[in-house]
Amino acid sequence: MINVGILGATGAVGQRFVHLLADHPWFCLHTLTASERSAGKRYADVVNWRLDVPFPESVGDLTISPTTADAVKDCDIVFSALPADVAQGIEEEVAAKGVGVCSNASSHRMDPDVPLVIAEVNPDHLGLIDVQHDRGRDGFIVTNPNCSTIMLTLALEPLRKFGFSSVQVATMQAISGAGFNGVAAMDIYDNVVPFIRNEEEKMATEPRKIMGSFDGSGVEMAPFLVSACCNRVPVIDGHTLSVWVDIDRPLEEVRKAFSEYAAPFSGLPTQPAKSVEYFDQPDRPQPRLDRNRGRGMTVSVGRLREGVRFTALGHNTIRGAAGASVLNAELIYMKKYL
């Protein structure tokens, strides 16, 4: 078994990690950390469990450690669910101690030698781990993208072979994306908020790194442009995206590309049967009905029309965060980087 830890184990993403790792076949949950407010207490006593799945009792007795590099030195991999400003320094310190960091935070995503990975889309970018080792880092940092970026980029992956130069996207993002204390009820109830700080900028850049080409030493950004409009909507979990992409192919070819898409690997525990699932029904996908497909790891696609226009949807704290990171770690293990 591989010993793993979670930095920020009490938050919206941290709880998803705990759920996914409590009974993992390869990874053993060894260390949980959170802020000074929680450190030293039993996880069961301090966590306000808010997921729609039962609390994993096996984890309840673990004592929360402070978020320091020393606290996780006995782990092989650490999953980071920390706020970006906190993650910046601590992730570097943890990696310097020889531990692998799989991070959800945005702090290191665009660092030139840090892979920004969606397992199905750019597994080859994990080669940047060797670049980090070559420049003297004992461990490594691997990041997963922003949650809306993951839904968009995974939905575009089956269409990559057609080539495209321009993507427009409008998001309808769940409130869990802002963390447990992120959006006040008075702001979101009976409302739509047409602003999510830095989200549109991330959607414009991150897909280009993920779909960029890796030459063994760095990543050249893919040449397409992304224009995004991001909105917060009163949905608990599940980000929905309306997408326009300039592909000039018969709709039937595009439909076939979506429905026949298969991941480039198999056999990883967190991998869904279908990473992308195509719907022909005129009113799907919908967050309440489709966010839990593939145990929250499937991106659902539908409403395909001339343009090319379509709708994509995925679970933001599973496919868009913790689940994507665990899948990355499984891939890292399979590729023998540990």
Ligand X SMILES: NC(=O)C1=CN([C@@H]2O[C@H](COP(=O)(O)OP(=O)(O)OC[C@H]3O[C@@H](n4cnc5c(N)ncnc54)[C@H](OP(=O)(O)O)[C@@H]3O)[C@@H](O)[C@H]2O)C=CC1
Contact footprint for ligand X (CB under 6 A): 8-14, 34-35, 37-38, 67, 81-84, 86-87, 104-106, 147, 176-177, 179-180, 316-317, 320-321
**What residues numbered 89-108 form the site for ligand PHD, per CB under 6 A?**
104, 106
Chosen residue from 64, 94, 101, 178 binding ligand PHD by CB under 6 A: 178
Closest residue to bound ligand X by CB: 11
- Catalytic entry in 125, 147, 230, 315: 147
331-337-338 Cα angle (round to 5)? 100
Instruction: Yes or no: say if 26 and 98 are a contact pair by the CB < 8 Å rule.
Output: no
> Beta 299-305 vs 225-232: how paired, if at all?
unpaired
| Distances 35 to 8, 48, 55 between C-alpha atoms, Å | 7, 14, 21
x/- map, 73-92, ligand PHD, by CB under 6 A: -----------x--------
Residue 14 interacts with, from ligand PHD, ligand X, none (CB under 5-8 Å by kind): ligand X
The residue within the footprint of ligand PHD, chosen from 33, 67, 103, 173 (CB under 6 A), is 173
Q: Please report how close the Cβ of residue 90 comes to ligand X at its closest, in angstroms.
A: 8
Our CB check for ligand X shows the closer of 13 and 219 to be: 13
Taking contact as CB under 6 A, which single stretch among the options 3-11, 171-179, 252-260, 284-292 is the one that binds ligand PHD? 171-179
By CB under 6 A, tell whether 240 contacts ligand PHD.
Answer: no
Question: From the list ligand PHD, ligand X, none, which binds 288 (C-beta under 5 to 8 Å, kind-based)?
Answer: none
Pick between residue 275 and residue 317 the one whose CB is nearest to ligand X.
317
User: What residue number has its CB nearest to ligand PHD?
Assistant: 177
Nearest to 8 by CA among 30, 31, 27, 40: 31
> In the set 29, 78, 147, 327, which binds ligand PHD (CB under 6 A)?
147
- 75 catalytic? Reply is no
Q: Which two tokens stand for residue 313?
A: 């949807």
- Nearer to ligand PHD (CB atom), residue 77 or residue 147: 147
Taking CB under 6 A as the rule, does residue 208 contact ligand PHD? no
239 tagged catalytic: yes
Stretch that binds ligand PHD, among 34-42, 195-203, 220-228, 267-275 (CB under 6 A): 195-203
| Complex with ligand PHD: residue 5 or 177, whichever CB lies closer | 177
CA distances from 300 to 129, 189, 257, 285, 319 (A): 31, 26, 14, 6, 11
CB under 8 A, 24+ apart: contacts of 261-269: 261/157, 261/158, 263/119, 263/120, 264/120, 264/123, 265/119, 265/120, 265/123, 265/331, 265/334, 267/334, 268/119, 268/327, 268/330, 268/331, 268/334, 269/24, 269/25, 269/26, 269/330
Q: Which stretch binds ligand PHD (CB under 6 A): 44-52, 71-79, 172-180, 212-220?
A: 172-180
In sequence order, the 6+-apart residues with CB closer than 8 A to the CB of 72 are 5, 7, 31, 33, 65, 78, 94, 97, 99
In the chain, the largest separation of any two C-alpha atoms, in whole Å, equals 60
Say if CB 324 and CB 118 are below 8 A apart. yes
Contact 109, 145 (CB under 8 A): yes
State whether residue 187 is helix, strand or coil: helix
Binding-site ranges for ligand PHD (CB under 6 A): 84, 104, 106, 146-147, 173, 177-178, 196, 199, 202, 316
Which residues are annotated as catalytic? Answer: 147, 239
